[in-house]
């Protein structure tokens, strides 16, 4: 396969699969850790209003979703990329980081969670996924 097409496929696959993993973990959130009484997370407005009811345990799955989604997406991108595997893994990390920044702007989450999420869940996980996907270098 043409290396340019393969690299484009690496980015698309990393974003799609990483997003699917993210959504899988987000969908588990309410079934593994019960949401607070009265919390409505079915809409963005409901989620915004419910955030004040959340305890630290309610942020476990969102963090895992962001971190593992980024890790898997970066791994896939590095595995598929024909050249510069770490670069493509980091593109996935930066893309998900941008999404994380948008979430921080739009959702009133606690500062500790925003900091942890933005600092740990994206770039370090993309680096780890890139290292795993690229193999020995």
Please give the chain's pLDDT, 137 residues, in tens.
899 999 999 999 999 999 999 999 988 877 888 888 888 888 888 888 888 889 999 999 999 999 999 999 999 999 999 999 999 999 999 999 999 999 999 999 999 999 999 999 999 999 999 999 998 65
Tell me the two tokens of residue 74: 């970066």
Count of domains in the chain? 1
Span 91-113, pLDDT tens digits: 999 999 999 999 999 999 999 99
What is the pTM (predicted TM-score) of this model? Answer: 0.92
Report in angstroms the alpha-carbon separations of 80 from 3, 21, 25, 68: 10, 17, 24, 18
Neighbouring residues of 35: CB distance < 8 A, sequence distance ≥ 6: 29, 41, 50, 58
- Give me the count of residues in the chain: 137
Full residue range of the structural domain in which residue 57 is found:
3-134
């Amino acid at each position: 396969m043409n290396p340019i097409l393969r690299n484009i496929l690496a980015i698309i696959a990393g974003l799609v699969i990483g997003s699917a993993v993210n959504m899988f973990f987000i969908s588990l959130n309410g079934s593994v850790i019960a949401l607070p009484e009265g919390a409505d997370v079915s809409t963005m407005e409901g989620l915004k209003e419910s955030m004040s009811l959340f305890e630290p345990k309610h942020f476990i799955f969102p963090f895992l979703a962001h971190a593992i989604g980024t890790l898997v997406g970066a791994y896939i991108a590095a595995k598929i990329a024909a050249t510069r595997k770490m670069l493509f893994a980091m593109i996935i990390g930066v893309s998900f980081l941008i999404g994380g920044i948008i979430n921080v702007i739009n959702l009133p989450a606690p500062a500790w969670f925003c900091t942890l999420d933005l600092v740990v869940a994206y770039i370090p996980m993309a680096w780890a996924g890139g290292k795993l996907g690229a193999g020995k270098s």
